[in-house]
Amino acid sequence: MSNFVWCHGPNCHTSHTQDRIRGVKGSKVLRTRKVKQTRWNSGSEHFNMYSYFCSNGCYNDFANKYVREVIAIAPRTEALETPINVTRDSQPDRWGSYNTQITTVDNNVG
């Protein structure tokens, strides 16, 4: 059983690499790479971009070409906020800097 998907990079088949060459002399082509499906890129908890793309470059090409469609899936119309506590050291560290600590507030506690 061959378990693969074709790389979804829109320009994958245009990259000049040895492994993409297919066909016989006189009618050679550069072909889209296969992306082998393994438990590491398509197991239930491992599904990620490497399930569909042969490289970061192909992923970036896809994201740049379809960015409007991708953003339409989950548009951000307002800023998100994370509640925090900010404390500043009362004493300087050994280099004379007063450091600031940021800790997130867990609203689910209490």
Q: Using the rule CB under 5 A, is 52 a contact of Zn ion?
A: no
Nearest Cα to Cα of residue 38 among 53, 50, 29:
50
Q: Is 56 or 101 the residue whose CB approaches Zn ion more closely?
A: 56
Q: Using the rule CB under 5 A, is 35 a contact of Zn ion?
A: no
Segment lying near Zn ion (by CB under 5 A), choices 9-17, 22-30, 73-81, 101-109: 9-17
Q: Is 14 or 99 the residue whose CB approaches Zn ion more closely?
A: 14
The number of beta carbons lying within 10 Å of the beta carbon of residue 5 is 14
- The two structure tokens encoding residue 19: 């492994």
User: CA-to-CA distance for 71 and 84, rounded, in angstroms?
Assistant: 28
Least Å from the CB of residue 82 to Zn ion: 36
